[in-house]
A and B are shown apart, each in its own frame.
Chain A
């Protein structure tokens, strides 16, 4: 098994204007996701949702600035670290990952020598 990070990139404004019903649906979809991953034979190592980019602070060298590095329509809103057999399996999991206002990106975790 190998580890992959699933980065969830979505339109933040869509969440800001979403009705409570929609937000409830999203929560339920994420709860279902955990179970669906198990059914594929994979597992979730960890997962977190992030506060919106309006709360981000960038640090470059000693310089501290308000906001994310780049303003984009879709921003990183959360992630899952998952275990999968290979890329095809990771992609199968990624297709199940809720991201109704955007999409996800799958990145293999780097393995260093001696680890």
Chain B
């Protein structure tokens, strides 16, 4: 099963651009590709419930997409492709379970409560044409804290986004067999340890939701600054992360941290096109062409931040989004309200005690009160030691030293940052700055 890949379908996500403009009707292949991108999570989540097994569910959903290609060519694209695919995949699962009882796992996926039995295909929900939306169960299962973070990320991309093992392996720079083993191990743990297929109860929801949001945010940041390689941004991962955040917002409209995460991603992503010069050179916030920032994304993100900050103590995603909103609001870099940003960092530091937050606060402090103040805060962080090996600490320190005219110390810090950085545009940037301070 691990060998079959969603990527093998003609449903390659994103391949649909441009269709429809000249055509009156989308082709079956386009419709299947579109349904793969939009409906995968819904179809798989609903199928897992009757299949009682994630592998079997995946297999049946793959089959359903393959049959759709033929059926939609012959009979036209159905009005509700997601429902068509779900019904097809679920019937397939029920058929297989009837025909081959060995498929009935002795440790079935623990679905509760009120799920129909696999041998009850005429259950009320199918008869009435209403298929329950199990996407939240699926994503909370993928991001269960008993699974390692890397397994949570891999499962989310595989089961919720429908990416193939090869695509996920490529995104995280590991071999395909390694990624396949990681996914298989995680699925085995879900069934053997009986991780239930359900949305957590309200008492545990904040912690469990935080794990889900962390996974989505991690996907975004991995795409935002690819850890290795020639390109700064990996668009596919960034788009997947924004898509997941939108899905969560739809499914949990009242959770302020879900709003906060979507806002943060939108506001950060609004700058995507301006983060690199045409030659691939990294552009800092102060160098970016603000007229090219994505205004609709900024407006949507800003509105979400306002909602997220209303009522209750704002969480870490809402506060990070609020900081991004202050940047987005400034007509020019010199107009940035650093005092406001510093206040928000103070709140963020209380909501989330992370040395990375403290480093960013130090940078804001330098902007609000001068480089010396920032440098002192960075010195505290160096002594703290938790950020040893984090390239942005020496990079931030180097920049403050450069602004103070302390060229030798700045050069030393730039060299230290270069020793820790693998992303090529970031390396180029640091090398340029090093040459500046050494007069090279």
Is the CB–CB distance between A87 and B106 below 8 Å?
Answer: no
- 20 CB contacts below 8 A, A to B, read A2-B194, A85-B196, A86-B194, A86-B195, A86-B196, A87-B146, A87-B193, A87-B194, A87-B195, A88-B195, A88-B204, A90-B194, A91-B146, A106-B193, A108-B193, A108-B194, A110-B192, A111-B106, A111-B107, A113-B106
Interface membership of chain B positions 332-374, coded 1 if the CB is closer than 8 angstroms to chain A and 0 otherwise: 0000000000000000000000000000000000000000000
* B→A interface (CB under 8 Å): 106-107, 110, 144, 146, 192-196, 200, 204
Chain A stretch 71-111: residues in CB contact (< 8 A) with chain B: 85-88, 90-91, 106, 108, 110-111
How many A-B residue pairs lie within 8 Å, measured between CB atoms?
26
Starting from the known contacts A87-B144, A87-B195, A108-B193, 15 additional A-B residue pairs (CB-CB under 8 Å) come to: A2-B194, A85-B196, A86-B110, A87-B193, A87-B194, A87-B196, A88-B195, A88-B196, A88-B200, A90-B194, A106-B193, A108-B192, A111-B106, A111-B107, A113-B106
In the docked arrangement, what's the CA distance between A88 and B146, Å? Answer: 9
* A→B interface (CB under 8 Å): 2, 85-88, 90-91, 106, 108, 110-111, 113
Main secondary structure of the interface of B (DSSP, over half): loop
Residues of chain B lying within 8 A (CB to CB) of residue A85: 196
In the docked arrangement, what's the CA distance between A86 and B201, Å? Answer: 14
What's the nearest-Cβ distance from chain A to residue B152, in Å? 15
In the docked arrangement, what's the CA distance between A111 and B110, Å? Answer: 15
- CB-nearest residue of chain A to B144: A87
- CB-nearest residue of chain A to B196: A86
Residues of chain A lying within 8 A (CB to CB) of residue B110: 86
Most A C-beta atoms less than 10 A away, residue of B106, B144, B194: B194
Residues of chain A lying within 8 A (CB to CB) of residue B106: 111, 113
In the docked arrangement, what's the CA distance between A91 and B144, Å? Answer: 12
